[in-house]
Structure 1
C-alpha cells in the first residue's frame, strides 16, 4: 500500500469516527425525549386543554393549533417577500452594490438573537395594538424566517445553469418570462427545502412568542388575543413542580421534535419528487 493510499484510508476512518461522534448528541436527545414523552402520547393529548396542577390527564390541543396558526401567519408574511427579494437580487440586481448590501444585512439579520426580534415585534405590534396576539407572534416568526428564505432562494436561483437563460432569451422570451417560466420552476425544489427549514426553525422558537403571543390556557378564538404554542407550553410546564405538567412538557418536546423531523422529511420528499 502506497503512502498516499494509506493516508487516504486513515483520513477516511477519522472522518467516519468524527461523524459518528457528531451524531451521538443528536441521537441521545432524540432517545431521551422519546423515552420521557412517549408514555403520555394519546388522542386526548391532541384534543384536550392543559390540566390544572395535580390533575391527571389533559393535553395541549390548543398549543398545537396556536403553533400552526402563528407559523401559518409567519409563512404568509415571509415566503412571498423572501422569494420576491431573492428573485430581484439574483436575476435583476446580481453583482450590484444593492445586492451586496442586502446580502450583508441578511446575514446580519440571521445572526440576531431571537429574543431581540421578540422585543422588536413587541414594540411595533403588541404596544401598538395593546394586546398580546397570535398575529404579533406571526410577525416575530416571519422576521426569523425571512433571512433563511432569502438566502436559500437566492442560492437556488443562482445555481440554475446560465444555459437555460440563454436558450430562453434565444427563443425570444423576455427576462421576466425567462425567470417565471424557466428559472423559477428549476429552482423550486431548493426553494421549498429552504422554506421548510425556515418553518421548522420558527415552530421551535420560544423567546419571541413570550414577548408577543404570551400564552393562553384555552382554545384560540382569533388572531388578536394571547395564544398558546407548543414551545411556550414546554417552557412553562418544564419549570413547575407538578409532575402531570412536567409530563406534558416532555410530550410537547416529543411532538415538536416530530414536527421538525416530519417537515425535513417532507422537504426531502418534495425535492426528490421534483427531480
Structure 2
C-alpha cells in the first residue's frame, strides 16, 4: 500500500517500533534511577558521617544533664539545648502558623488580586529569600536592644519571621487546590463565606497545611545565625523564655565545633545527630498526619 505521493508509510505496528519503545523506557528508567542515586549519595554520606561520629555521645545523661561550661571537659550533657530547641521552636510555631494560615485565607479567599493581596504576596516572596541572619539582626534591633537583654523569646520571634512566609505561601497553594465546586455547593446551601471557609475549604486543605507547617518548623529548628544574635548562651535549664539568655542545639553545634578540643568536637557531633533526629521526627510526623487526613477524605 502506498500513499498519494507514492511513499510507503512506516510500519507503526512492527517489531522494530516495539523494540524502540522498550529500549526508550528502560533508558529513561535507568537515567531516573541514576539521578536519584546521585542526589541521595551526598545525603547518605552526610548522614553516615554524623551518625558514626555523634552516636558515641548519646546516652541517658546526654538528654538530661546540663552542658559542661568548660569546652575541654569530657562527658555528656545537652539537656538545656534540647529543651531550648523545643520551647523556642514551639513558641515560634504558635506565633507564625495561625498568622500564616489566616494570611493565606485572606489572600486566596478574600484578597484575590486586590492591590493589598498582591503586596502581601510580594513581601512574602521577598521574606522567603532574606538570609536568616537579617531576621536575627531585625529582631535584635527591634526587640533585644529595647528590652536590654537576650532572651529565648527573641529567638522565637526571629524564627517566627522565618517561618511566616513559608506557612503563608504553602497554605495558599493548598487552598488553591481545593475545587471551586465545594465552595459553590456550600454557598448554594446558604452558608456564608466565612462558614464555607472554616467548614469546607480549610478541612479539605488541612493535610497540605499541616505538612507545610511542620516542614517550616523543621527548617526553623536548624537555624543558627538568628539564635546566636538574639538568644545568647547558657549552660543550664531555662524553661522560661523571658528569663535571660537561652540556648539551642544549633547554637551548641556552632560553639562546640569551633573549638579545637576533642570533648567539644564530640559534643558538636552529638548535638548535630540530635538535631537531625528532631527534624526527622517532625518530617515523619508531617507525612503521617498528611496521609491520615487524606485517607479520611476518601
* Residue 239 of structure 1: aligned partner: 258
Q: What TM-score comes out, normalization by structure 2 length?
A: 0.89
* Residue 15 of structure 1: aligned partner: 32
> Which of 84, 92, 95 is the matching residue for 1:74?
92
The answer to whether structure 1 residue 131 and structure 2 residue 149 are counterparts is yes
Q: What TM-score comes out, normalization by structure 1 length?
A: 0.97
Q: Deviations over 1:176-229 (max 9, x none)?
A: 110000001111110000110110011000000111001111111522311011
- The offset of 1:5, in angstroms, is 4.5
Q: Which structure 2 residue ranges, 5 or more long, are not aligned?
A: 1-15
The answer to whether structure 1 residue 30 and structure 2 residue 38 are counterparts is no
> Which of 266, 269, 275 is the matching residue for 2:288?
269
> Which of 107, 115, 118 is the matching residue for 2:125?
107
* Residue 172 of structure 2: aligned partner: 154
Q: Deviations over 1:123-180 (max 9, x none)?
A: 0111001001001000000000001100111111111111111110111111111000
State whether residues 59 and 76 of structure 2, in contact with CA within 8 Å, keep that contact through their aligned partners in structure 1. no
- The offset of 1:10, in angstroms, is 1.8
* Residue 5 of structure 2: aligned partner: none
Q: Deviations over 1:18-71 (max 9, x none)?
A: 111011111111111000001111000011111223332231100011111111
Paired positions, count: 275
The answer to whether structure 1 residue 118 and structure 2 residue 136 are counterparts is yes
Q: Which structure 1 residue ranges, 5 or more long, are not aligned?
A: none
Aligned partners of 1:84 and 1:43: how far apart in 2? 41
The answer to whether structure 1 residue 41 and structure 2 residue 58 are counterparts is yes
Aligned partners of 1:81 and 1:229: how far apart in 2? 24
Q: Where in structure 1 do 4 or more consecutive aligned residues deviate above 2 Å?
A: 1-9, 52-56, 95-101
Task: Tell me which structure has the larger Cα radius of gyration.
Answer: 2
